[in-house]
């Protein structure tokens, strides 16, 4: 656990949202101090943080910084003292929020940023009567805060450009996407959109047109999939065909005047309507507990986000940008000691890498070792530029041993030993560790090829030299346990000269 020298965030109000903020900051290496008046808050937050530990670090293909220290404080002043970012997430009541800001501003530094998670209040309302109004901004997140990157930021006239820059960089540092509103409005952008859809959904139930499950199906089998990757306008642009958005507006514009939508009209939430919605929801989802639904939601979100990451698109592009900032294993041999196996991987096991047995599924070991092979090759000079020039290594043979279970969220590290670099052949041995526990090994035979002829050829002298340097250094290391083992059979023991 971290971390002297780490940055500090204070979380005031540790419910669903405050717990999610605490997890996002802590898993990004910040020390987090939490203040909540409810005695049960610590237990609830720890549950949120445990879920986040399994889900969030695996979004990236590099290891996050060491987790920050999380502490609970009965005294609000103690929690906020010296904190760089203070996030207020108490219930949505303006009088309560005002009370909290007075207490925070009495104890925090002038440089601290005070973000409010408010779903609806404007910064001008939040800052009424505050000692330093410009210090308080809206930083509105989405549940689960540790996975959904969007944070809507609403600043006021007193915020100032220097503070705006710090808000932007801090939110990016914790892997979030700050969306700055041009001006303050009630409920910001996203909740206004959601409110419109929510109102229509309530009408559809109230009018007996659809039940809750059918409405959810209309979203998740349909436009919800499009929205997650292109939003509304880019999707409709495509719907307009070659002529794009102009054609779409001409074609579908008149429909806006038809009475499709009930818009601002709200159905009255009578006891009967509440009962209808609640019982339909029980029928739809009641067989699963909320905790189970949260786990399913997190796993689905991780799969979607990692899918978008592979496509370098939308929220996935944000993950890739954060990954570049975090950085990975060293890129040059010169920065490494050759007297031990080379570090070729450090990452958390993504949630979508685990199977129904609750541990990392088989083919993901190959993916992790394959990535480590790529990193090893890049270190010796067979990097993307080298491959673009027409040569590469192809894997000819692989043997993976699964030695211990690894669960989602576990931090794994891989090191690589060069066993043989002879002619066109390369034999490497990876070890995968969780802390000091050896959890798997992977042994691979690779062949150097010409990408034009697709035939094995000798590597050029520079590559041979680098490989020889590593091979010579690694020859002094003891033979790794398990090297040369065949399936179901341990490696042949080398004769001991003492025997």
Binding site for ligand NAD (CB under 6 A): 12-18, 35-38, 41, 89-92, 100, 117-119, 140-141, 143
Distances (CA, A) of 225 to 218, 220, 235, 261, 315: 10, 6, 11, 22, 13
How big is the chain, counted in residues? 499
Please tell me the distance from the alpha carbon of residue 382 to that of residue 390, in angstroms, as a whole number: 11
Please tell me the distance from the alpha carbon of residue 112 to that of residue 139, in angstroms, as a whole number: 14
Closer by beta carbon to ligand NAD, 15 or else 267? 15
Closer by beta carbon to ligand NAD, 35 or else 411? 35
Distances (CA, A) of 194 to 92, 119, 181, 190, 284: 17, 11, 17, 6, 21
Q: Which of 378, 432, 370 is nearest to 398 (CA)?
A: 370
Min separation Cβ 302 and ligand NAD, Å? 19
Q: What is the DSSP string of 17-57?
A: HHHHHHHHHHHTT-EEEEE-S-TTHHHHHHHHHHHHHHHSG
Closer by beta carbon to ligand NAD, 138 or else 412? 138
Min separation Cβ 243 and ligand NAD, Å? 39
Min separation Cβ 228 and ligand NAD, Å? 18
CA 56 to chain centre: 4
Quote the DSSP letter at residue 204: H
Closer by beta carbon to ligand NAD, 20 or else 345? 20
Please tell me the distance from the alpha carbon of residue 355 to that of residue 363, in angstroms, as a whole number: 11
Min separation Cβ 12 and ligand NAD, Å? 5
Tokens of 493: 């023991």
Please tell me the distance from the alpha carbon of residue 13 to that of residue 118, in angstroms, as a whole number: 12
CB count, 10 Å around CB of 203? 17
Min separation Cβ 270 and ligand NAD, Å? 24
Min separation Cβ 14 and ligand NAD, Å? 5
Answer for the pair 434, 412: CB distance below 8 angstroms, yes or no: yes
Please tell me the distance from the alpha carbon of residue 341 to that of residue 346, in angstroms, as a whole number: 14
Tokens of 128: 């009424």
DSSP helix, strand, coil percent of the chain (3-state; round to 5): 45, 20, 35
Closer by beta carbon to ligand NAD, 38 or else 397? 38
Pairing of strands 31-35, 70-72: parallel
C-beta nearest to ligand NAD: residue: 15
Tokens of 26: 């802590």
Closer by beta carbon to ligand NAD, 62 or else 190? 190
Closer by beta carbon to ligand NAD, 11 or else 59? 11
Min separation Cβ 287 and ligand NAD, Å? 23
Q: Which residues are annotated as a binding site for NAD(+)?
A: 13-18
Min separation Cβ 319 and ligand NAD, Å? 21
- φ and ψ at 480, to 5 degrees? -65, 140
Min separation Cβ 76 and ligand NAD, Å? 7
Closer by beta carbon to ligand NAD, 17 or else 412? 17
Element (H, E) at 370: helix 362-379
Min separation Cβ 222 and ligand NAD, Å? 23
The edge-to-edge listing of strands for the beta sheet with 113-116 is 70-72, 31-35, 8-12, 85-88, 113-116, 136-140, 150-154, 177-180
Distances (CA, A) of 302 to 37, 148, 191: 32, 10, 23
Residues 6+ apart with CB under 8 A from 303: 351, 352
């Amino acid at each position: 656990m971290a971390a002297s020298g780490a940055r500090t965030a204070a979380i005031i109000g540790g419910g669903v949202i405050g717990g999610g903020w605490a997890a996002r900051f802590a898993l990004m290496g910040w020390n987090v101090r939490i203040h909540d008046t409810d005695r049960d808050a610590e237990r609830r937050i720890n549950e949120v943080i445990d879920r986040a530990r399994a889900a969030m670090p695996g979004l990236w293909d590099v290891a996050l910084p060491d987790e920050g220290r999380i502490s609970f404080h009965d005294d609000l002043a103690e929690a906020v003292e010296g904190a760089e970012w203070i996030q207020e997430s108490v219930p949505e009541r303006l009088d309560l929020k005002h009370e909290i800001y007075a207490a925070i501003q009495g104890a925090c530094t002038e440089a601290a940023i005070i973000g409010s998670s408010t779903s609806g209040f404007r910064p001008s309302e939040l800052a009424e009567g505050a000692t330093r109004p410009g210090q308080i901004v809206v930083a509105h997140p989405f549940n689960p805060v540790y996975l959904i990157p969007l944070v809507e930021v609403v600043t006021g006239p007193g915020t100032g450009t220097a503070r705006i820059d710090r808000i932007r960089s801090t939110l990016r540092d914790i892997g979030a996407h700050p969306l700055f509103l041009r001006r303050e409005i009630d409920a910001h952008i996203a909740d206004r959109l959601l409110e419109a859809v929510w109102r229509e959904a309530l009408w559809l139930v109230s009018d007996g047109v659809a039940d809750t499950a059918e409405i959810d199906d209309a979203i998740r089998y349909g436009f919800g999939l499009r929205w997650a990757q292109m939003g509304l306008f880019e999707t409709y642009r495509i719907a307009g065909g070659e002529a794009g958005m102009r054609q779409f507006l001409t074609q579908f514009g008149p429909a806006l005047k038809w009475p499709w939508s009930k818009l601002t009209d709200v159905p009255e939430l009578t006891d009967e309507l509440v009962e209808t919605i609640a019982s339909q929801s029980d029928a739809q989802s009641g067989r699963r507990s909320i905790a189970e639904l949260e786990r399913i939601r997190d796993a689905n979100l991780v799969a979607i986000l990692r899918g978008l990451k592979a496509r370098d698109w939308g929220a996935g592009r944000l993950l890739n940008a954060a990954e570049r900032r975090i950085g990975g294993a060293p890129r040059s041999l010169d920065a490494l000691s050759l007297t031990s196996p080379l570090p070729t991987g450090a990452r958390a096991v993504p949630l979508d890498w685990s199977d129904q047995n609750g541990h990392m599924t088989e083919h993901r070991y190959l993916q992790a070792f394959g990535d480590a092979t790529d990193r090893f090759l890049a270190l010796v000079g067979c990097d993307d530029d080298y491959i673009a020039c027409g040569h590469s290594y192809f894997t000819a043979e692989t043997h993976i041993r699964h030695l211990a279970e690894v669960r989602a969220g576990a931090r794994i590290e891989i090191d690589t030993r060069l066993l043989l670099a002879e002619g066109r052949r390369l034999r490497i041995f990876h070890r995968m560790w969780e802390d000091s526990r050896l959890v798997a090994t992977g042994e691979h035979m690779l062949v150097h090829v010409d990408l034009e002829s697709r035939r094995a050829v000798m590597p050029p002298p520079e590559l041979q030299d680098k490989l020889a340097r590593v091979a010579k250094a690694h020859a002094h290391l003891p033979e790794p346990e398990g090297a040369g083992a065949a399936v179901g059979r341990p490696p042949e023991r080398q004769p001991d000269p003492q025997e």
